Amino acid sequence: MPLPSWALVVVVSALLVGCTQHSIRAVSQSSSGTETPTELSQRDIGARVLASIDDARRAMGLGDPIAASNDVSEALSSAREAIDQFVPLPITGSAGSLAADHAASLTKLLGSFPVRVRLVAAQTFLTKGDIPDADAILRALQNRVPPRLIPQNMPLLEAAASLERAKLAAGFGTPQLRTQLSCAEAALHSYQGPARLAKVRALASTLDRALANPKQLHILLPDQVSIWQDAVAQWTKSERSDA
């Protein structure tokens, strides 16, 4: 039996997500209390999983199960990356980085086998059009994460994830462009960090204007989305360096 058109979009998106994984090289841990490149990568993996789960729930709230399924695909891809490439940090006592310990905990938590099983179940529900059950699973996963493990720059990570998928949607001309830009706009509006707040708010307003103009949205190019994505990535990198 042929798949419906929206299911084909999900399959294509899952394949695209699978092609964007990044490798992580293990390096020695610093005892200075700052995070090494490996620790930063480990933190990024767990944060990417959580950001994608958050975005999926936003997409479901907007009534877009295809966009939500794409988000869950990204969360599952990152969770698998955590298992495949996570390098446990050595125990260094008081000299170790507290942020690194949190990074390892978040990555282990969201890359665990039970979490991956639940992500697959959520995606199955979305494929069937069962949004309430999918949302219940993702909400339970969010609730498993202690507040102390949530990065302060999570709204920026969520916006970056949404803009990445918005760029793909702009390239393919799919209706998920509006959903992903809406998710990015909502994430930027929720940002409370003191640094770069004015710039973040300005970008959120720019996305508001694009969403309010159907003609502008119709001709929006992936290159323009990339400019917005690069700006968010730079703010995220700067905030991480300041932490």
Write out pLDDT tens, residues 121-165: 999 999 999 999 999 999 999 999 999 899 888 999 999 999 999
CATH level 3 topology of 1-21+32-151: Four Helix Bundle (Hemerythrin (Met), subunit A) (1.20.120)
Name the 3-class secondary structure at 22: coil
| Structure confidence at residue 207 (pLDDT) | 97
| Structure confidence at residue 93 (pLDDT) | 41
| Structure confidence at residue 90 (pLDDT) | 44
| Structure confidence at residue 230 (pLDDT) | 96
Which tokens is 79 given? 């969770």
The percent helix, strand, coil of the chain (3-state, each to 5) is 75, 0, 25
Phi/psi of residue 187, nearest 5 degrees? -65, -45
Cβ contact 38:104 at 8 Å:
no
- Listed as ranges, residues in the chain with pLDDT below 50 are 1-34, 37-38, 87-96
| Structure confidence at residue 98 (pLDDT) | 53
**Nearest to 33, CA basis, from 83, 94, 109:** 94
| Structure confidence at residue 170 (pLDDT) | 96
User: What are the domain boundaries of the chain?
Assistant: 1-21+32-151, 152-243
**Nearest to 70, CA basis, from 133, 142, 6, 22:** 6
Q: Quick one: 193 exposed, middle or buried, by C-beta within 10 A (0-12, 13-18, 19+)?
A: middle
| Structure confidence at residue 179 (pLDDT) | 97
Annotate 140-197 with DSSP letters as a single string: HHHHHS-GGGS-TTHHHHHHHHHHHHHHHHHHHT-THHHHHHHHHHHHHHT---STTH
**Nearest to 29, CA basis, from 105, 88, 109, 111:** 88
Phi/psi of residue 22, nearest 5 degrees? -115, 145
Cβ contact 46:110 at 8 Å:
yes
